[in-house]
Amino acid sequence: MKKVVVPLGPYHPLFEEPEYFELYCDGETVVDIEWKAGYNHRGIEKLSESKHWDQVTFLVERICGICSTSHPIAYCNAVEDLLKIDIPERAKYIRSIIGELERLHSHLLWVGLAGHFLGYNTVFMWAWKYREPILDIMEMITGNRNHYAMMKIGGVRRDIDNGDIDIIKKILGELKPKLEMLTGSVIDDPVLAARLKGVGVLTAQDIKDYGAVGPIARASGVDIDVRRDSPHAAYDLVEWKVITCQDGDVFSKAVVRLLECFESIKIIEQCLERLKKVKGEIAIEIREIPPGEGIGHYEAPRGECFHYVRSDGSSRPVRHKIRAPSYVNIPTFKTSCVGETIADVTIILAGVDPCYCCTERAITVYDANTRKKLFNGRDLITLSQEKTKKLKKRLGIKDE
């Protein structure tokens, strides 16, 4: 049988940044996958060396539009590690609140998109509708729906008004039953189970080999979470638990993300309650950064963000190394996609939760020998949706 190369990208709504995948297919089955990155390479590590320590916080916020507070938290953790300082208690709670609100909206965004790729547009509509009030809370607290600019070395830049706390709690309270309904509708759905269980499986050994992190690791039974393992912000001051699943398939990844939303709400509610009582400063003043090295990490919605900074005592970092979670999660495709069908690859790639800052769609399937176009991006999503429809028919479930 002749092999077909299926290029995915560089611009595709599945990917968090323009990236390029080449799927080598034998008939419907993927036999190998190649990855090429760099389409969105902005040289942020180099840029960081030309910015003041305080400016870098805003620079790293621009790494990702969806998890835009994770990089500043990780960076501030790194500099605070270098300085060996602890931040004020009120700032700790505010950091956790912003971090968890971000996780909530990021996970809901993923659930919606995953629903769309599988032909469950109701899930897509619900998830994105329920995400909206969270962005409203963000706007209320920070003034922005995204890029909150809340973090600062030594604390946070803006306080949360105690008068807003009850309103935020009310919005979250209203969100909870809706989230429960959404979670139930995904976890209990027989078609989704048939479509996602056993697809794109990663074992704990694969996770170790690739160093994968976040919900990808936790869905394979690897119990790691920086928030618990390396306590910072308010994560050791409130009650919550790390969600893990054992199967390592796309279904487990969905379950982990959905259940994490409830933990996030639990963390936010406790932090808000404490904020009412904790008074005092929200940041300590840093006058200079002495020579030295610092490492900071933070559990972003997609996994661990890692920052390493080195100072020579001047006003700028001499080296700033950043490792985003997708950098180690994406290479797992080499294991998870091989042996699967093209229709499933769409959801396996989406299962890693790349974010959606690029909306242009430009994928086309070429015949490897004649270079003749076979399908485009829309056709591939249709292929995935068709598979769900067929499954529904087989299971005797009527289409929506």
Partner 1 sequence: MGTLEKIKERFGNKIKKIFMHNEKRAYIEIDKNHLLDFTEFIFSLPGVRFVTASGVDNLDNMEIIYHFSFDPEDLMVSIKTFIDRNNPEIESISNIIKGAQNIEREMYELLGIKFKNHPKLTRFLIDELPEGVYPLRKNAERQVEQ
User: Backbone phi, then psi, for 136, in 5-degree steps?
Assistant: -65, -40
Q: Nearer to partner 1 by C-beta: 45 or 159?
A: 45
Residue 306 near partner 1 by CB under 8 A: yes
Least distance to partner 1 from the beta carbon of 348, Å?
A: 18
Decide if 304 contacts 106 (C-beta within 8 A). no
Nearer to partner 1, 14 or 226 (CB): 226
**Which of 139, 174, 229, 288 is the binder for partner 1 (CB under 8 A)?**
229
Q: Cβ distance 303 to 217 under 8 Å? A: yes
Closer residue to partner 1 (CB): 145 or 323: 323
Q: Does 80 bind partner 1 (CB under 8 A)?
A: no
φ, ψ dihedrals at 290, nearest 5°: -75, 165
Question: Is there binding between residue 295 and partner 1 (CB under 8 A)?
Answer: yes
First to last CA, the chain: 37
Cβ distance to partner 1 smaller for residue 181 or 318: 318
| 308 sits near partner 1 (criterion: CB under 8 A) | yes
**Structure tokens given for 191:** 């078609």
Is residue 202 part of the contact set for partner 1 (CB under 8 A)? no
Give the other-Cβ count within 10 Å of 323's Cβ: 16
Among residues 157 and 321, whose Cβ is nearest to partner 1? 321
Check residue 147 for interaction with partner 1 (CB under 8 A): no
Q: How many helices (H) and strands (E) does the chain have?
A: 15, 10
Positive or negative, the CA dihedral 261, 267, 269, 271 is negative
Q: What are phi and psi of 307, to 5 degrees?
A: -130, 135
Ranges of H-type helices in the chain: 44-48, 53-61, 70-83, 89-117, 121-142, 165-187, 190-196, 204-210, 215-219, 226-229, 250-277, 325-329, 333-336, 342-351, 377-395
Options 206-214, 252-260, 271-279, 371-379: segment touching partner 1 (CB under 8 A): 206-214
Stretch that binds partner 1, among 138-146, 157-165, 273-281, 319-327 (CB under 8 A): 319-327
| Residue 292 interacts with partner 1 (CB under 8 A): yes or no | yes
Contact between 358 and 17 (Cβ < 8 Å): yes
Contact region for partner 1 (CB under 8 A) — 119-127, 183-191, 317-325, 363-371?
317-325
Which x/- pattern, by CB under 8 A, does the window 254-283 give for partner 1? ------------------------------
203 near partner 1, rule: CB under 8 A: no
Ordered strands of the 3-8 beta sheet: 3-8, 20-26, 29-36
Q: Which residues of this protein are in contact with partner 1, per CB under 8 A?
A: 36-38, 41, 43, 45-46, 81, 84, 208-213, 224, 226, 229-231, 292-295, 297, 304, 306, 308, 310, 318-319, 321, 323, 327-328, 331
